[in-house]
Amino acid sequence: MGLLKRMVLGMVVKLILLNNKDMLIKIEFRSVIILASLMFLSCDSMREREAIKNYTSPYMGTYVGELSGNVTGALIIDIKKSGSVEVTKTFSGNSETFLQGIVFEGGALEKVSSPNTGFTLYGNLNSKGGTWMQGSWSGSWSVRKK
């Protein structure tokens, strides 16, 4: 950001020195406008990255519960600081853990699906439940916050 400020100040100085040359002034003025716009965009981008880094999901924590339906099993949902979702599900002694999806404000789970098995959770952490699917199997799930 310091470099952009120096460039903008340099362009302003050139404008003052070259004010008797109309063509150069127009070119320099356009450069000043473009660089000033880039400087503001850069600052906005920096603030946005900082806000994302400092964000803490209100749902952060570990939720434990059960899967029921065609098969039964255990379910652990771990919500990370960023709101990303890590799921561990266990059917018949076989466990799978995957980090996929996000929890939105309001508790809705989005795109929580295993890239390996296709196991997918639908639901909401406010109601602490929902449905699941994996191939031809399906059912419901419920959790409580640990």
Domain spans of the chain, in order of start: 2-54, 61-145
- Structure confidence by residue, pLDDT tens digits, 17-65: 555 555 555 555 566 566 556 566 566 667 777 766 788 999 999 999 9
Sheet with 73-79: strands ordered across: 109-110, 94-103, 84-91, 73-79, 61-69, 137-145, 129-134, 120-124, 112-113
**What is the architecture of the domain spanning 61-145?**
Beta Barrel (2.40)
Q: Among 28-32, 106-110, 130-134, 137-141, where is mean pLDDT lowest?
A: 28-32
The answer, yes or no, to whether residue 138 has pLDDT greater than 70, is: yes
| Reported pTM | 0.68
- pLDDT tens by residue, 72-86: 999 999 999 999 999
